[in-house]
Chains A and B, each alone.
Chain A
């Protein structure tokens, strides 16, 4: 049996995860949009208080965690389609994972400062 190194598995899990995480992000986007369009004058105090609320911290973290998984599937698909040399593709995939981990870590740092 011949196997091609892609640096990733295939299957239903990723496909489904991409759709579930997309739905979570869409719901968060609606909340964000309502806040933006509420007409509330956004001062530093309002902004800071908003992101200090427990539910907003959790919702934002949930958004970023969804984004992390969603973006991993998406970027991996792009790399698998366009980057043909195995070594380069794997390198870029590792870079993508590290970037995603950094994004997540930074988000936690921003939210729980």
Chain B
């Protein structure tokens, strides 16, 4: 499903060259629940951005669903993000002026689904995260946990190959953290591939495989039975 080979990422700011990823190789199979853990500056966010096709690697191969991403055009990358990747962000990243259901519909607008189809899929997706009764609420009328559930519903709605969660519980208290992790586990049980990027070992411990990144290298890749 996901195949990363010898990936490097170099940032260049004037004379200063910073190597964020120094040859990273990962294989993630369909249905896996993976966490990428590491301290800040370890390169995990860079890895996440590349996995999410938000950024290009300087070197190496990234294959998503058998498709090598390096030779795709901008528009093709956008399409790929739209169809195959679902993002969950630390700061939710919902559009404040849209209601929950409109926020969830947003990716479908860009995949040119009809209005009725969009509404049906968004409602189903919100149902999965337990927010059927909050559909017409705006983000500022909801709690942090509810907002993150809306974001999860948005990530789900296109039935992506992979869900990428970047510190999904970073802005949440422990109770809602459990709530959100619970949902992610459920979604994984339903067959979704999920990659969580975090710096908290407690979060990583709840996933089935923990990849530890440090200084641009993978230092460990452990499967665990939960």
Do A and B pair up? The answer is: no
